Amino acid sequence: MARRLLARAKLLGRGSAPGLLYDLGAYPGAFFGPKYKQRVRGEVFALPAGDPLLRAIDAYEGCAEDGSATNSGFERLSTIVTLDTGRQLEAWSYGLQKAPRPARPIPSGDWIAHLAARKPRAARR
């Protein structure tokens, strides 16, 4: 899905939104909303209006075609994102409906940095 997104969407840059990010093992999960003081970091992409890739992303995230939650526990949400440039915009995010079990919070809010730190490093000789 990442390759399809890179091929079809325009990368606007890195950004963040208020929320809490969790390590669910193979993938992250987040709660979004203005009540959170922490921020969830990631890349922000723009899709052309009406692009069918949005429905494909919904399916990948386990949502119904309209972005509503299914058994996956994720739903597509409208979220205010702040790009690293300071520009704010409304964007789609995939958020959790309820607290997952088990889940570990990611204090940095950055899944990619968390993954890099989580990988075992080769032993030095």
What is the pLDDT at residue 22? 95
Residue 100 to residue 64: CA distance in whole angstroms: 20
SS (H, E, C) the chain: CHHHHHHHCEEEEEEEEEEEEEECCCCEEEEECCCCCCEEEEEEEECCCCCCHHHHHHHHHCCCCCCCCCCCCEEEEEEEEEECCCCEEEEEEEEECCCCCCCEECCCCEHHHHHHHHCCCCCCC
pLDDT of residue 23: 94
- 10-residue averages of pLDDT along the chain (125 residues): 91 97 93 95 94 92 84 90 98 89 91 86 55
**Residue 122, pLDDT score:** 54
Which residue's entry shows tokens 């409208």? 78
Amino acid at position 43, single letter: E
Domains present along the chain, CATH in parentheses: 2-118 (3.10.490.10)
pLDDT, residue 71, reads 76
